[in-house]
Amino acid sequence: MTTTLERETRPIQPKRVNEIRVMVGGQGGDGTLTVISLLARCLKLIGLHTYDARNVLSRIRGGHADGVLRGSVNRVLCSGDALDALVAFDEEAVEVGSPLLEADGVVIFDSSRGPLKKQLPPRVQVYQSKLSDLAGTQLKKTLLKNTISFAILSRALGLKQELVERVVKERYQRKGGEVLEGNMAALQIGFRLADEIGVAAHYSMPEGAENDSLQVVGDEAIGIGFIVGGGRFYAGYPITPASEVLDYLSVNLPKFGGAAVQAEDEISAINMAIGAAVAGVRSMTATSGPGQDLMTEGLGQAAEAEIPVVIVDVQRSGPSTGMPTKHEQSDLNHVVFAGHGDFPRLVIAPADVTDCFYLTVDALNLAEKYQMPVFILIDQALAQNSQSVPPFDLSKVRVERGKLLSQTELDSLPVYKRYEFSSDGVSRRTIPGMSGGFSQITGNEHNEWGMVSVNTENREKMMRKRMLKAELAKTEMPRGRFYGSPDAKIGFVSFGSNVGPILEAMDILATKNVPTKFLLVRSLHPLHEDELVQFLDSVDTAFVVECNLSGQLAGLIRREVGFANKIFGINRFDGHSFRPSEIAQRVLEELGPKTGGNSRNA
């Protein structure tokens, strides 16, 4: 079989760009996403920052899957609005990716199942060839089409061949043997193919030295933060998109004398986390919506019995089994309100991978200082998309264990009561094995000793004691971040991974002379009312941007600080993150012809 790279004959001038956006699409499970990670590594080595996003189905093989990589001289926090290049292994991938292509974008198409059918705009450059067939005949492994395509892509992006070879080599070094050889051979085939028919360098990116940033996904950053923050016991049950926390900790916790247990279900997971905490270990569990539901009872137990435990909720499209691999931010109500009875809890919402690391350490400290459950609420995009982040600063990490007594401290006490009333509501803790520290820890209402009690006075005091802790904890909860022009009368309020698209939407709006500002909320419960009141007071219209239908953040804000008539919701709930342009567009639509006008209530 002869391979032809059908090339159109326009002369190409490499475009100088500070940013490059590439999609690779094909069938789930056939390794197309590897191309994304190889490219990410290349770009890092020439000093760029990267962001990647994956779009897969809840099945292991087959069905459309794609990944987008964005490389930039600046840190980026979303995949943006458009694509410069598209590697497509089938027609469906072209359907999905081409609407986003820049007018002069590049398409690399695997024509093994026939030439490209889709009609593309005239300036789009299409390179097509039977990549899979080529890999099959020459390398006996059709999956190596990926590496072949990567070689071609690297040419179109103007990347140096040595760099590309180094990255592929590094990547398969450990596997060695056939795997390494096959991939290196595939690269050469790709380069030859590109040479043969003269694939042009369409882009030229600024090349610098490798930057020192880390490429990490949110789930992993939480895992790292957990270990560094002194966490030693983790229990979890597999679930998309939280499994990466389990995976990461299963490999890494044992090195530190810790353990990551795969529980039989999420009920077991949270109760194991509770058990380890009772014994004195910093512990955590992570799951997504369905698992969160099952942890509800354990949550109340941790609160009532005053047990420090960190719960990570990685939100996906609900309700119920929903769309397991898809993005959403619709568990706010659940994490803030779920569970019978009144009890304290803290809900922290990291907005980027850096936050995921530092706020996990904070969560561990808060849990132990205030002896209560602390949620880390993230979303699928933040959990699974990798970001370039500055190296985590280990010197900033503090482990604060609050009123956990040492044996010496305990020895000096005349009386030890696990739930002793105190001015800050926090009682001293002992752990089993300490002499003189006997305690009864219970989810029943109890007196200071931890003995079951229905005494009405005691009850009232215990309820207030627990609630007081949350009020005091609030003073240590992460503050929001402010962006934009202080004088703007149009504001955004949002949380989580929306920070990326919103910041870029603000840039777009600025170019249209719509100055905006933005309050990124990072504590969802308790809310910092002061920052919200100040912000909402200062704007005419506040767009509350969230990936859910009902406006859960907007609801929390109305409940806690009011301002219903200034709040306008921008909501998305189709399983995907916002795009910057879409947010800008919705704002412009809402403001109508004359910008800055007051908007109607959502």
Ligand X SMILES: Cc1ncc(C[n+]2csc(CCOP(=O)(O)OP(=O)(O)O)c2C)c(N)n1
Q: Which of 218/229 has CB closer to a copy of itself?
A: 218
Q: Which of 392/578 has CB closer to other proteins?
A: 392
Query: According to the binding rule CB under 8 A, does residue 286 interact with other proteins?
Result: no
User: Residue 171, CB half-sphere, CA atoms under 13 Å: how many?
Assistant: 22
243 binding partner (options other proteins, ligand X, a copy of itself, none; Cβ < 5 to 8 Å by kind)? other proteins
Query: According to the binding rule CB under 8 A, does residue 57 interact with a copy of itself?
Result: yes
Give the residue among 101, 128, 99 at the shortest CA–CA distance from 114. Answer: 128
Per-residue interface string for the shown chain with ligand X, residues 275-314, x marking contact by CB under 6 A: ---------------xx--x--------------------
Considering only residues 400 through 419, tell me which ones interact with other proteins, judged by CB under 8 A. 410-411, 413-418
Write out the two tokens for 74.
Answer: 């600046």
Write out the two tokens for 191.
Answer: 């380069």
Q: Which of 159/246 has CB closer to ligand X?
A: 246
**Sheet (strand 231-236) strand order:** 259-262, 231-236, 282-287, 309-315, 373-379, 346-348, 523-525
Q: State the minimum distance, in angstroms, from the CB of residue 239 to ligand X.
A: 4
CA dist 262 and 310 (Å) reads: 16
Query: According to the binding rule CB under 8 A, does residue 528 interact with other proteins?
Result: no
Asked if residue 11 has a cis previous peptide bond (ω within 30° of 0), the answer is no
Asked if residue 319 has a cis previous peptide bond (ω within 30° of 0), the answer is yes
Query: According to the binding rule CB under 6 A, does residue 443 interact with ligand X?
Result: no
Map tokens 């795997």 to a residue.
179
Query: According to the binding rule CB under 8 A, does residue 238 interact with other proteins?
Result: yes
The DSSP code for 305 is H
Give the residue among 520, 275, 288, 466 at the shortest CA–CA distance from 384. Answer: 288
User: Looking at 149-157, 225-233, 289-297, 388-396, which segment touches a copy of itself (CB under 8 A)?
Assistant: 289-297
Largest Cα–Cα distance of the chain, in whole Å? Answer: 90
User: Looking at 3-11, 40-48, 283-291, 381-389, which segment touches a copy of itself (CB under 8 A)?
Assistant: 283-291
For the stretch 203-225, what's the b/e string if a residue is b when 16 or more beta carbons lie within 10 angstroms of its beta carbon? Answer: bebeeeeebebbbbbbbbbbbbb
User: Looking at 73-81, 198-206, 428-436, 556-564, which segment touches a copy of itself (CB under 8 A)?
Assistant: 556-564
Query: According to the binding rule CB under 8 A, does residue 320 interact with a copy of itself?
Result: yes
Query: According to the binding rule CB under 8 A, does residue 338 interact with a copy of itself?
Result: yes
Write out the two tokens for 136.
Answer: 């099959």
User: Looking at 63-71, 136-144, 216-224, 235-243, which segment touches ligand X (CB under 6 A)?
Assistant: 235-243
Give the residue among 577, 501, 523 at the shortest CA–CA distance from 328. Answer: 577
435 binding partner (options ligand X, a copy of itself, other proteins, none; Cβ < 5 to 8 Å by kind)? other proteins
Looking at the DSSP assignment, which residues form a beta bridge with residue 460? none
Write out the two tokens for 279.
Answer: 């014994």
Q: Which of 443/515 has CB closer to ligand X?
A: 443
Query: According to the binding rule CB under 8 A, does residue 43 interact with other proteins?
Result: no
Size of the chain in residues = 602
Query: According to the binding rule CB under 8 A, does residue 69 interact with other proteins?
Result: no
Contact 484, 515 (CB under 8 A): yes
Considering only residues 377 through 396, tell me which ones interact with other proteins, judged by CB under 8 A. 391-392, 394
Q: State the minimum distance, in angstroms, from the CB of residue 434 to a copy of itself.
A: 25
Query: According to the binding rule CB under 8 A, does residue 123 interact with other proteins?
Result: no
* Residue 275: other Cβ atoms inside 10 A: 16
Contact 436, 410 (CB under 8 A): yes
For every residue of 514-544, DSSP letters joined together read --EEEEE--EEES--HHHHHHHHHH-SEEEE
16 binding partner (options a copy of itself, other proteins, ligand X, none; Cβ < 5 to 8 Å by kind)? none
Q: Which of 255, 340, 594, 600 binds other proteins (CB under 8 A)?
A: 255
For every residue of 3-24, DSSP letters joined together read ---B-------PEE-SEEEEEE
Q: State the minimum distance, in angstroms, from the CB of residue 448 to other proteins.
A: 9
Query: According to the binding rule CB under 6 A, does residue 238 interact with ligand X?
Result: yes
Per-residue interface string for the shown chain with other proteins, residues 439-468, x marking contact by CB under 8 A: xxxxxx----xxxx----------------
Site residues (vs a copy of itself, CB under 8 A): 57-58, 267, 288-290, 292-294, 296-297, 299-301, 303-305, 313, 315, 317-326, 328, 330-331, 333-334, 336-343, 442-445, 452, 454, 456-457, 459-460, 463-464, 467, 548-550, 552, 555-556, 558-560, 562, 564, 573-576
